[in-house]
Structure 1
Amino acid sequence: MPATPRTVRAFALALAGLGITASTMSAVPATAAPGGTTSTTTTSTQKAAPVSAKRQVANRVLKARDIALRQRGDAYAYGAAGPASFDCSGLIRYAYSRAGIPVPRTSSAQAGAARRIAKKDMRPGDLMFFYGSGGVYHAAIFLRWSRGQALMVHSPRPGSRVHVAASWTSSWFGGTLRRA
């Protein structure tokens, strides 16, 4: 039975969700199957199955971290989102967007978009949201734990530059854009 345009579209969308593109499919030779349809075969010289969607997001989070680290030395500017100057949330938006993950513009909106996680579960590239009585006032990208302190890359305040620092307070919570 021939495939309908609706079936073909659904199949294409399913493959796209798995990270399989037309260029990926062209690398797999098609062979005739009984009934006149085509099928694909896999040989030992072909690449393994595409990376899972969860792994792709994790790789993009690490890419965002690396992009933010490359911005070290760039100036702080209120409301700036790169490429030469940043405020705290602008640095996060710039790095994550360049890595292929859309992120809201402000630190409070970013905190709302992130899935909250325990500090002990923080992984490189996750987000740190600093809060006080007025709510979230600062955001940074988590790098690692060092002697009990969280190291982060951030753009902290006027007169400073993007740099790596230890957290100055424990009044922060972790967030991630990784899938559960």
Structure 2
Amino acid sequence: MTLGLATVLMVGLALVAAPTQSATAASPPGASAQAGAHTGAQTSTQTTKKKKKKKSRGLRALRRVKSQAGDPYSYGANGPHAYDCSGLTQWVYKKLGYHLPHSSSGQVSHTFKVKKPRKGDLVFFYGSGGVYHVGIYAGKHDGRRWVWHSPRSGETVKKDPIWTDSHFIRRVKYKKH
């Protein structure tokens, strides 16, 4: 077999370009070396997307409190089928691994101030006698803040708009018990 000068030059150039060709050789037929590198990047991105992201504590708290919607208010009750206000928040956070006392005023000391409230934070209502009610912050909708709570005798666990400015929102301390 005889090779012409043009073929020898192309072979010589091919040897110089061998690193690019070897990268291309690993790629599927018809794909360039750049496309092969891009495919690898896509694969790692797809793998990352498939991992389940753990839901925040606040969203898990909301899921728990929603599961109790319609359960009756009962003074001193802390679930699982009847609640007073602090019994509801105590039950929800117990399911998440946190210990809260069974009183709205007692729960304040197990929280800390936050600049921006998040869903699942505790909403404390107060008057001249101090804190008298607690619920779980449900977020802001239609320009209003909402709370999940067990309001009073004759009512059930439900979501309501916050009805007074005499409230503050705090986050449960991260220390699990």
Q: TM-score, normalised by structure 1?
A: 0.64
Aligned position for 2:84: 87
- Inter-partner Cα distance in structure 1 for 2:59 and 2:172: 11
Contact kept, 8 Å, 2:126 with 2:132, in 1: the verdict is yes
Bigger-Rg structure (1/2): 2
Greater share of residues in helix: 2
What secondary structure does 2:123 align onto?
A: strand
TM-fit CA distance, 1:133:
0.3
Q: Whole-Å Cα distance in 1 between the matches of residues 59 and 98 of structure 2?
A: 11
Say whether 1:173 aligns with 2:168: yes
3-state DSSP class of the match of 1:76? coil
Distance of 1:108 and 1:140 partners within structure 2:
12
Q: What percentage of residue pairs aligned between the two structures are identical?
A: 40
> Does residue 99 of structure 1 match 2:96?
yes
| 1:114–1:177 CA contact under 8 A, matched in 2 | yes
Contact 1:61/1:96 (CA < 8 Å) preserved in 2?
Answer: no
1:128 to 123, 128, 133: 123
1:116 aligns with 2:116: no
Kindly indicate whether residue 125 of structure 2 is the aligned counterpart of residue 163 of structure 1: no
Query: Corresponding residue for 2:61?
Result: 64
Cα distance, 1:147 vs structure 2: 2.9
**For residues 56-82 of structure 1, what are the alpha-carbon distances to aligned partners after superposition, in whole Å with 9 as ceiling and x for unaligned?**
8x7333212211111000000001000
CA RMSD for the aligned pairs?
Answer: 2.1
Give the conservation status (yes or no) of the 8 Å contact 2:123–2:135.
Answer: yes
Distance apart, 1:170 and its partner CA: 0.9
AA matched with 1:128: V
Letter in 1 for 2:154: G
Alpha-carbon displacement from aligned partner over 1:2-61 (angstroms, at most 9, x marks no partner): xxxxxxxxxxxxxxxxxxxxxxxxxxxxxxxxxxxxxxxxxx9xxx9xxxxxx98x7333
Name the SS for the 1:160 alignment partner.
Answer: coil
Gaps in structure 2 of 5+ consecutive residues: 1-43
Q: Unaligned 5+ residue runs, structure 1?
A: 1-43, 49-54
- Measure, in 1, the Cα distance between the counterparts of 2:101 and 2:59: 18
| TM-score, normalised relative to structure 2 | 0.65
Letter in 2 for 1:81: N
